[in-house]
Amino acid sequence: MTDWEAVIGLEIHVQLATQTKMFCSCSPVFGDDPNTHTCPVCLGLPGALPVANAQAVHLGLMIGLALGCSLASQSVFHRKNYFYADSPKGYQISQFDQPLCGPGNLAGVRIHRVHLEDDAAKLIHASESGRIAGADSSTVDFNRAGTPLAEIVTEPDLHSAAQAREWLALLRTTLRTLGVSDVSMDEGSLRCDANISLRRVGDQTLGTKTELKNMNSFRFVERGIEAEIIRQRELLDSGQTVTQETLHFDPRSGSLTTLRSKEEAHDYRYFPEPDLLPVEVTEAMIASARDALPELPIERAARYVSELQIDDVLAERLAGDAELAEFFDAVVEAADKSIEARVLATWVSDDAAGRAGDDGLLASKLEPAALAELVALVDDGSITTAAGRTVLDQLFEVGGSPAAIVSDQGLGKVDGGDELEAAVDAAIAAEPEAAEKVRAGEQKALGPLVGVVMKHTSGRADGGEVRKLLLERLGS
Amino acid sequence: MIAKMLDRSEVIHIARLARLNLDEGEIERTAIELSGILDHVERISELDLEGVEPTAHAVATRGELRPDIQGASLSRDQALAEAPVTDGVGFIVPSPGA
Amino acid sequence: MSNDPTALTAASSAALVKSGELDASDLFEAWLGRAELDTFGALSWIAQAGESPEQVDGPLGGVPLAVKDLFCTEGVPSQSGSKILEGYKPPYTASVVEALAKSGAPLLCKTHQDEFAMGSSNENCAFGPVLNPWDKSRVPGGSSGGSAVAVAAGLAPWALGTDTGGSIRQPAALCGIVGLKPTYGSVSRYGMIAFASSLDQAGPLTQDVTDAALLFSQMIARDPRDATSVGHQESIHLPDRRDLTGVRLGVPEELSGDGIEPGVRATFEETLERARELGAEVVPCPLPHAPHALSAYYLIAPAECSSNLARFDGVRYGQRVDPGDGLDAMYSATRAAGFGPEVRRRIMLGTYALSSGYYDAYYGRAQRVRTLIQRDFDEAFANCDAIVTPTSSSVAFPLGSRTADPLSMYLSDFCTVPMSLAGIPAISIPNGMSEGLPTGFQIAGPAFAENSILGIAHALESSIQFDRSGARV
Ligand SMILES: [Zn+2]
């Protein structure tokens, strides 16, 4: 059996978060009634002309800078000619041989290019729409036509389905942090195609690649690529060859099907769009894109390690989620400086994020300042860690002040005194066998006794103190 | 430079790319007409164009960009007004797969 | 006659309206009456009586306008001479038509043209040919033939046309009127149904040079809806030049020698002599790459048109033919039935020129030839103020005489195409008669030199005193 290495490159289409479409002033909003956001330009009416959106160019430059790309001084739009019902003009306008951004790199994966183009309309097939328009007809909705897209193309630097998914997640967080796109795979504002080929481990030349189209979730990206790698491996192992083709992954059946080609022989007859002049990228435009860049996930993780002494894994986990990282930064900002950042980080990453689940922290009632206050109460010994978690539950559900919750519900730590002594006595009475074992020097028998004390004090007692007291009473 | 005489299969291929039905007579006629025109226009191959940059636009060279400000869109009725076939919501087309 | 405002030039009428001697709505109604006299197939649509504009305080004084079919006019058929757009009423109006209406030139009528502006005889119109008012057995030229005839026959005071390779200048010459192709980018193309985007430019067709200057002065604007529009570097004034002292006119042998009919060459020589008498210096002025201009043009324009016309697919507007065999079959049937033979020919030619493996040899090379032609003009204008040539190699030719041979029709554009490729302004004025038909004299200047060529044209016009009454109905 030969050892095969997968070679994977990604092409990612990102809908840019602009107020208007790429070449006209219609809103690119998603989800409205069909054909309510169109004009002569995006409907391709006779005589209408495109004018490029300055904000789309600005967002494209931000993406280029964030991905470490070289920026073109001039970019040229081309026409990509093809006939299809989703194409109002009979061509797509795309930066073909002079893209806005050239080579770059994100986390070791080389970026080939980033360029701007306009999106196609939405074709609703009769079977999907449920409307009776004749079984062999489709309906076209031009709301999406002309939505600005940035296409990000990587070099074939990925080598497994899992790695592709992980890298795509980093790219998505980076784009979300930039604020250039909603990056929602559900709504199609982030779409991913993959080029996949296999070669013998150690070979330098690339094998025949296939293109896997429009996988619309992270899971499907991983599963689709995995399925294609297996398919190619089986072909090659059995002495067959891979055919260059475009495939569609059906997540329900897990199968790959060949897509019908859009244009016979793919002769797109590219030529410079004569309705547009080249976009000149000025120093001022680059400076303005640079000024608009927030701290990126990779930079943020590095800062957490170097400035906040957080370990690598935790730092990457926090920084890899733009929302979580912003929440964490706010907690650090609000917290007393005497509290170590890595303690805060654990609370944010493990306790808070763990409770948030898929909805995210922002959907909860928890405020960063409240979490900072809560950690301070635990840190100075006012409450136990267990009580702190109880308070956190409350903060999540109803919000409010940790100190108030502690005092309202009597969650303050039981500090020695009568209450604790009474609880210890009660525990010894309740677990005589365990008490006898401890007296006989069997220390691990302390467990059940501590458990009873904790139960009686609702976790407000300090474990160390309870142990100490039990040992004193049991005279060992 | 290149073969000047267009053959039938090339004409059929080009007509297919351009989405134009041509009947047999038109295919023949088009092959002859286009060959004649190409024979003439190929005289530009005599010119030495080494180092000559192409000109896409003669006068202006740099495009103005548009500020990202919403303008009026057409109402759906306006958008659909001239459509040959519509259901009042969208444009109806024959199925691409048919 | 003195009471007939339609006997006046547009500028004279505008002056009378502004001085209060003429009522704008009377003027509009009078021109409606003239438009009804169309027996040349020139007009595709005429305004209703009583549609005259309320407000006419603009510089164009309410003098109504004939507009070529391919300009989109809201709610008014805009068909670009094509069956595929028969009856099409756009939901918006072209920027330049809107601007002219605002300046006081309301829409009077629309005019027939070669389909999608492809043609030099107006015989490629889906709605029938347009006849030349000097001789109804002859063509009016094209593609703005209907606009030229409307002005020549006195159906409209002035008209809007478009010029891609000569489509304003050549019909102006063949009909004995004035036609100006402006500097590319000075007039917005928004709402002009495109033929070849990098060449198309709107311009005036008028009774005289003053009218051309007046109409053009209100057309120039940088339009935020047209990324290729730049507006103009100077405002356009009404020309008053009567001599040509100190003016150097360059005569390119390539565009004035071989291939020009003797009768046309004779009036050209006469006009050069007249220019010398008016004080001009006439010098030879080579344009060595001009003989290649037609080749470059007949690659660039079809290539752009093959893509521009892809949108006519029977989905959002226009005619549809559906054999019931899926989307592609509908496209191919619709486009084969909707486009005429010349349009189909150019789409085929352009598709071929852009197709895989041929781009560099055809479109790519043509764009480089364009650079050489532009350089020729740059060098020429270092030595002269304007370049002059016959506008058309021949006078109006008989209907049907050139339709069998597309190449010969193409070759007749050789005097006007080089200026289009270079994007520079050029005007045609009537300069005499040959075989009882008018001839045209073309004056081209550097980019944005419209004031200069309008001045030269005015001086020549004042001296020539061309009699255009023979075409008036
Ligand atoms: Zn729009």
- The tens digit of pLDDT for each residue in A247-262 reads 998 888 888 888 765 4
Question: Which segments of chain C have a pLDDT < 70?
Answer: 1-2, 53-55
Best residue in B4, B11, B16, B37 for a mutation probing chain C (most C CBs within 10 Å): B37
Mean pLDDT of the A170-199 span: 93
Domain containing A141 equals 4-290
CB C200 within 8 A of CB C164: yes
Name the band, by pLDDT with cuts 50, 70 and 90, for residue A349.
confident
Nearest to C190 among A49, A269, A277 (CB): A49
* Contact: A267, C355; criterion CB under 8 Å: yes
CB A137 within 8 A of CB A126: yes
Strand, coil or helix: what is C408?
A: helix
Name the band, by pLDDT with cuts 50, 70 and 90, for residue A320.
confident
Q: Is the ipTM of this complex over 0.85?
A: yes
Check whether residue A275 and residue A246 sit in a common domain.
Answer: yes
At residue A15, the pLDDT reads 97
Check whether residue A206 and residue A168 sit in a common domain.
Answer: yes
Output the CA A142–ligand 1 centroid distance in Å. Answer: 9
* Contact: A274, C196; criterion CB under 8 Å: yes
Distance from CA of B30 to the nearest CA of A (A): 20
For B8-49, how does the pLDDT look when each residue is reduced to its tens digit (9 = 90+)? 999 999 999 999 999 999 999 999 999 999 999 988 988 999
* Contact: A274, B56; criterion CB under 8 Å: yes
A182 at the B interface (CB within 8 A)? no
Name the band, by pLDDT with cuts 50, 70 and 90, for residue A447.
confident
Residue B80 lies in a domain: no
From chain B residues 7-26, the ones with a CB under 8 A of any chain C CB are 10-11, 14-22
**Cβ count within 10 A of residue C341:** 15
Domains of chain C by start residue, with CATH: 5-242+447-471 (3.90.1300.10), 290-375 (no CATH)
Mean pLDDT of the A435-448 span: 83
CB C190 within 8 A of CB C82: no
Check whether residue A337 and residue A236 sit in a common domain.
Answer: no
Which of C167, C186, C392, C428 does the annotation list as catalytic?
Answer: C167
Most confident of A225-229, A364-368, A400-404, B58-62: A225-229
At residue A419, the pLDDT reads 78
Distance from CA of A340 to the nearest CA of B (A): 45
Name the band, by pLDDT with cuts 50, 70 and 90, for residue A135.
low
Name the band, by pLDDT with cuts 50, 70 and 90, for residue A380.
confident
Output the CA C72–ligand 1 centroid distance in Å. Answer: 17
Mean pLDDT of the B69-95 span: 97
Residue C371, H or E segment: helix C365-381
At residue C237, the pLDDT reads 97
Residues of B whose CB is below 8 A from A24: 71
Residues of C whose CB is below 8 A from B18: 306, 335, 347-348, 351
Check whether residue A48 and residue A88 sit in a common domain.
Answer: yes
pLDDT at A1 over 80: no
Residue B25 lies in a domain: yes
Check whether residue A91 and residue A212 sit in a common domain.
Answer: yes
For A43-74, how does the pLDDT look when each residue is reduced to its tens digit (9 = 90+)? 999 999 999 999 999 999 999 999 999 999 99
CA A214 to mean position of chain CA atoms: 18
Check whether residue A114 and residue A15 sit in a common domain.
Answer: yes
Residue C167 is among the residues annotated as catalytic for this protein:
yes
pLDDT at A263 over 50: no
Residue B59 lies in a domain: no
Dihedral pair phi/psi, residue C386, rounded to 5°: -150, 155
Residue B62 lies in a domain: no
Check whether residue A281 and residue A338 sit in a common domain.
Answer: no
Output the CA A42–ligand 1 centroid distance in Å. Answer: 4
Residues of C whose CB is below 8 A from B17: 351, 355
Residues of C whose CB is below 8 A from B58: 184, 198, 370, 374, 421-424, 447
Q: What CATH number should be reported for the domain holding residue B9?
A: 1.10.20.60
| Distance in angstroms (rounded) separating the CA atoms of residues A37 and A33 | 9
pTM, entire model: 0.89
**Cβ count within 10 A of residue A206:** 13
Name the band, by pLDDT with cuts 50, 70 and 90, for residue A132.
very low
Q: Could you give the number of structural domains in chain A?
A: 3
Check whether residue A335 and residue A426 sit in a common domain.
Answer: no
At residue C1, the pLDDT reads 39
Name the band, by pLDDT with cuts 50, 70 and 90, for residue B2.
very low
A48 at the B interface (CB within 8 A)? no
At residue A451, the pLDDT reads 86
Domain containing B42 equals 1-49
Higher-pLDDT residue of A384, C308: C308
Nearest to C310 among A91, A265, A274 (CB): A91
Last residue of a domain, one of A361, A392, A409: A409
Q: Chains with 3 or more CB pairs closer than 8 angstroms to B?
A: A, C
Q: Which residues surround ligand 1, an ion (CB under 5 A)?
A: A 24, 26, 39, 41-42
User: Searching chain B, which residue's CA lies closest to the CA of residue A271?
Assistant: B56
* Contact: A46, C194; criterion CB under 8 Å: yes
Higher-pLDDT residue of A421, C97: C97
Output the CA B79–ligand 1 centroid distance in Å. Answer: 11
At residue A265, the pLDDT reads 55
Helix axes A283-291, A54-66, angle to 10 degrees: 70
* Contact: B73, A27; criterion CB under 8 Å: yes
| Distance in angstroms (rounded) separating the CA atoms of residues A83 and A262 | 8
| Omega before residue C332 within 30° of 0, cis | no
Q: What CATH number should be reported for the domain holding residue A444?
A: 1.10.10
Name the band, by pLDDT with cuts 50, 70 and 90, for residue A442.
confident
Which of C143, C144, C188, C452 does the annotation list as catalytic?
Answer: C143
Strand, coil or helix: what is A235?
A: helix
Residue C82 is among the residues annotated as catalytic for this protein:
no
pLDDT at B1 over 80: no
* Contact: C423, B57; criterion CB under 8 Å: yes
At residue C465, the pLDDT reads 98
Check whether residue A65 and residue A105 sit in a common domain.
Answer: yes
Residue C68 is among the residues annotated as catalytic for this protein:
yes
Residues of A whose CB is below 8 A from B93: 85, 123, 137-140
Contacts of C153 (CB under 8 A, 6+ apart): C37, C38, C40, C42, C133, C471, C472, C473
Check whether residue A353 and residue A431 sit in a common domain.
Answer: no
CB C114 within 8 A of CB C79: no
pLDDT at A454 over 90: no
Q: Could you give the number of structural domains in chain B?
A: 1
Check whether residue A283 and residue A347 sit in a common domain.
Answer: no
Residues of B whose CB is below 8 A from A83: 19
At residue C57, the pLDDT reads 76
Residue B10 lies in a domain: yes
Last residue of a domain, one of A266, A290, A314: A290
Higher-pLDDT residue of A265, C343: C343
At residue A131, the pLDDT reads 46
At residue B3, the pLDDT reads 45
Higher-pLDDT residue of A30, C244: C244
Output the CA A22–ligand 1 centroid distance in Å. Answer: 9
Check whether residue A9 and residue A30 sit in a common domain.
Answer: yes
Whole-number percent of chain C with pLDDT over 70 = 99
Q: Which amino acid is at A441?
A: G
Mean pLDDT of the A144-150 span: 98
At residue C55, the pLDDT reads 63
C50 at the A interface (CB within 8 A)? no
At residue A416, the pLDDT reads 64
At residue A413, the pLDDT reads 75
Last residue of a domain, one of A409, A443, A465: A409
